[in-house]
Amino acid sequence: MKDLQAEIQEQYQALGISEPVRRLGEEVLAELAPRFARIDEIAEYNQLKVLGAMRKNRVSESHLTGTTGYGYNDDGRDTLERVYADTFHTEDALVRAQITCGTHALNLALSSNLRPGDELLSPVGKPYDTLEEVIGIRPSAGSLAEYGVTYRQVDLLPGGGFDYPAIAAALNPKTRLVTIQRSKGYASRPTLSVEQIGELIAFVKERRPDVICMVDNCYGEFVQTREPSDVGADMIVGSLIKNPGGGLAPAGGYICGRSDCIEQAARRLTSPGLGREVGASLGMNPSFYQGFFLAPTVTAGAEKGAIFAASLYERLGFSVHPAAATPRYDIIQAINLNSPEWLKAFCKGIQMAAPVDSFVTPEPWAMPGYDDEVIMAAGAFVQGSSIELSADGPLRPPYTVFFQGGITWYHAKYGILMSLQKLVDAGLEL
């Protein structure tokens, strides 16, 4: 019988990975074993957390059916919201197919909890690109600015720390809501740990206990054992086609938090008077439940992929962010590829490794909501899902690719090797 490792090697070769690229990958991986073991421990903890919430809420087969039309008495939907609330230790949750994406969930949380004359403060610098139009940082029809909500921003210090004196000065009687983005998104600042977020919230609450602290939790769920809601956040907000959907949710978003904040959001999502009572689950309950059940292990696989990519590319001399050895608080890995050609080659490799649309070549395009042209590689079961293996980057120097996802670690590994293979094919020397 042939050695299994030899057979795997043959498989990689048959799937387009040259032996030098594969060997380099194995060398890098050999050093990552202790970190991967730690990630597995966190996944184990979080798996028990989710299971505990499902048991406590007596999830049953009947919850996996759904409603149509108005969606009154959708017990599966309502119980799922209890499962989210109990997992994230919040009073309440809104988890809906009608929340179309992360931006929508954030817009909903903000627009429902702010009133004309209120001020929104971001103490962590410029928020995610798509929120610029939500807030009205870039003028946009329907923005919060149009409704008389003002915005103030305090940038992070050059080292990534909070500028506490400036934050204290920015808090004023109009400040109603503080928005804290956990993940770096497309920015080059560090991602915040849950502990750091807790310190920032404590600082704000000490001065203004009445201010709502909201955390954009996108890409952060289940990376640590605690969530921002465990350290004082009044609302945490995210997308179901990222971590908590576990790769199975076909759409959707969530807001978990204080019941009064969630009630506002529900009334804004549907209508005053109707609130959370309507909103058919349209057959999505099984994938929402099963995706949430899988989310801790799926997130762990994606995180391993991020660390592997960082370690591999750092070793080749690329500037990677976060650096390979630093602790990690989300599943995004940024790699500065320094040229548009290499950015395209990297994305081509990720695309070629995909289970769906492996044969297409990604091209840059002007994506709605983003400033610069963006190139995206994603051969996903769910359109645009970034818990699935995907890479994207705006076409601006230093041509940073943001790499994330991988429903299984083995797929992430193959995709990263393929990205490197395409760079090698384009002239990179190992």
The residue ranges that bind ligand PLP (CB under 6 A) are 101-103, 128, 130, 181, 183, 185, 216, 218-219, 239
Distance from CA of residue 410 to its chain's centroid?
20
Burial 286-310 (b: 16+ CB within 10 A, else e): ebbbbbbbbbbbbbbbbbbbbbbbb
CB 119 within 8 A of CB 145: no
Q: In what order do the strands lie in the sheet with 319-321?
A: 319-321, 333-336, 400-404, 390-394, 374-378
Q: Cβ closer to ligand PLP: 87 or 130?
A: 130
User: CB of residue 233 vs ligand PLP: minimum separation in angstroms?
Assistant: 14
Closest to 265 (Cα-Cα) out of 144, 127, 104 = 104
Q: Cβ closer to ligand PLP: 28 or 374?
A: 374
Q: Cβ closer to ligand PLP: 79 or 130?
A: 130
CA distance 324 to 306: 9
User: CB of residue 102 vs ligand PLP: minimum separation in angstroms?
Assistant: 2
Q: Cβ closer to ligand PLP: 90 or 183?
A: 183
Which tokens is 199 given?
């310190």
User: CB of residue 330 vs ligand PLP: minimum separation in angstroms?
Assistant: 8
User: CB of residue 91 vs ligand PLP: minimum separation in angstroms?
Assistant: 23
User: CB of residue 155 vs ligand PLP: minimum separation in angstroms?
Assistant: 16
User: CB of residue 270 vs ligand PLP: minimum separation in angstroms?
Assistant: 20
Q: Cβ closer to ligand PLP: 92 or 216?
A: 216
β-strand 150-153 against 119-122: which pairing, if any? parallel
Q: Cβ closer to ligand PLP: 187 or 310?
A: 187
> In 3-state terms, what secondary structure has residue 15?
coil
CB 154 within 8 A of CB 200: no
Name residues whose C-beta falls within 8 Å of residue 324's C-beta, 6 or more positions apart in sequence: 307, 310, 311, 314, 315
User: CB of residue 56 vs ligand PLP: minimum separation in angstroms?
Assistant: 29
Q: Cβ closer to ligand PLP: 68 or 383?
A: 383
CA distance 275 to 264: 8
Closest to 293 (Cα-Cα) out of 77, 60, 46 = 46
Closest to 178 (Cα-Cα) out of 228, 141, 140, 219 = 228
Q: Cβ closer to ligand PLP: 175 or 179?
A: 179
User: CB of residue 186 vs ligand PLP: minimum separation in angstroms?
Assistant: 8
Handedness of CA 313, 315, 321, 327 (dihedral sign): positive
Q: Cβ closer to ligand PLP: 82 or 189?
A: 189
Residue with token string 């120097």: 397
Q: Cβ closer to ligand PLP: 101 or 407?
A: 101
CB 237 within 8 A of CB 215: yes
User: CB of residue 369 vs ligand PLP: minimum separation in angstroms?
Assistant: 8
CA distance 194 to 46: 15
Residue nearest to ligand PLP (CB): 102
| DSSP assigned state of 232 | T
Counting Cβ atoms within 10 Å, is residue 58 exposed (0-12), middle (13-18) or buried (19+)?
A: exposed
Which tokens is 101 given?
């994406």
User: CB of residue 218 vs ligand PLP: minimum separation in angstroms?
Assistant: 3
β-strand 390-394 against 374-378: which pairing, if any? antiparallel
Q: Is the peptide bond before 398 cis (omega within 30 degrees of 0)?
A: yes
Q: Cβ closer to ligand PLP: 218 or 269?
A: 218
The residue type at 366:
A
User: CB of residue 334 vs ligand PLP: minimum separation in angstroms?
Assistant: 12
